[in-house]
Amino acid sequence: MSWQVRYALENLKRDHDVVSAEHIGGDAIRIVVRGHPDVIAVISDAYKIDQELAQQHFKAWPTMDFLCGYRKECVWEGRAIRYLEEKNIGWGSAGTLGSALGKNDVRAAAHKDYFFAYRLIKQLRSISALQREFDRVFSLKLCNGRALRVGMIKEYEPTADTVRTLWENFGPVDIAWCINPNGYPRNDAIEAGRELGCEVLQWEELKTILKGR
């Protein structure tokens, strides 16, 4: 049994709604939740989940309900996300899986760190095209013709290092969006953005730009 499967089982058994959690082979587990259908989850130890890896897991476990990137550092590529969503398979972190177990929507679950922020973007009618490149990076085109690449930052108080790390790991962005509604970027984060050539914004500021105002 792999380390991530062992830890996942240990943590799931502490959930009072989980009746049982068992290893059923490879990286797959079956979770029995009180009052809900059983869930088959595949627990990955990858640092990055791309489409090829998602396909491999699906080939091994075509009945899986959820693919879990167990490492906190795990990054999801956009093509992997689209592949899983087309297969009606949930995806995201261990926290995402835990939150979804008590609801009848495990297969509809998406990474909880970025779900609500990305949903805000999808609801805007001023956007004519939208493509998710990674779990935290997307590119879009506005109805007025302007194109933007946006990176989502989930930290409560983003620093200069946070902004630079986003840029280094995922390439240049036009906007670094601080998606934590209760946080605010530090001045050094805003200055780092200026040095790199991007704006560091919160939702209200970003929304004004995306609505073409």
pLDDT single digits (tens) 27-85:
999 999 988 889 999 999 999 999 999 999 999 999 999 999 999 999 999 999 999 99
**Which residue in the block uniquely carries the two structure tokens 């959930």?**
15
Q: Are residues 84 and 119 in the same domain?
A: no
Q: Are residues 7 and 101 in the same domain?
A: yes
How many other CB atoms are there within 10 angstroms of residue 86's CB atom?
A: 8
Bridge pairing between strands 18-25 and 39-44? unpaired
Q: Which pLDDT belongs to residue 36?
A: 87
How many other CB atoms are there within 10 angstroms of residue 145's CB atom?
A: 8
pLDDT, average across residues 131-160: 96
Q: Which pLDDT belongs to residue 66?
A: 98
Query: Does position 194 have pLDDT exceeding 90, yes or no?
Result: yes
Q: Are residues 67 and 152 in the same domain?
A: no
Q: Are residues 76 and 125 in the same domain?
A: no
For residues 164 and 171, what is the distance between their CA atoms, to the nearest angstrom? 10
Q: Which of 76, 108, 140 is the last residue of a domain?
A: 108
Provide the β-strand partners of residue 102.
none
For 8-28, b/e burial (b = at least 16 CB within 10 A) is: bbeebeeeeebeebebeeebb
Structure tokens at 63: 């009945």
Secondary structure letter of residue 60 according to DSSP: H
Secondary structure letter of residue 2 according to DSSP: -
Q: Which pLDDT belongs to residue 213?
A: 60
Q: Which pLDDT belongs to residue 57?
A: 98
Domain that holds residue 21: 3-108
Number of domains in the chain: 2
Q: Are residues 104 and 179 in the same domain?
A: no
Share of residues in the chain with pLDDT > 70 (%): 100
For residues 43 and 66, what is the distance between their CA atoms, to the nearest angstrom? 9
Instruction: Note the pTM of the prediction, 2 decimals.
Output: 0.95
Name the band, by pLDDT with cuts 50, 70 and 90, for residue 186: very high
pLDDT single digits (tens) 84-132:
999 999 999 999 999 999 887 899 999 999 999 999 999 999 999 999 9
Q: Which of 108, 142, 171 is the last residue of a domain?
A: 108
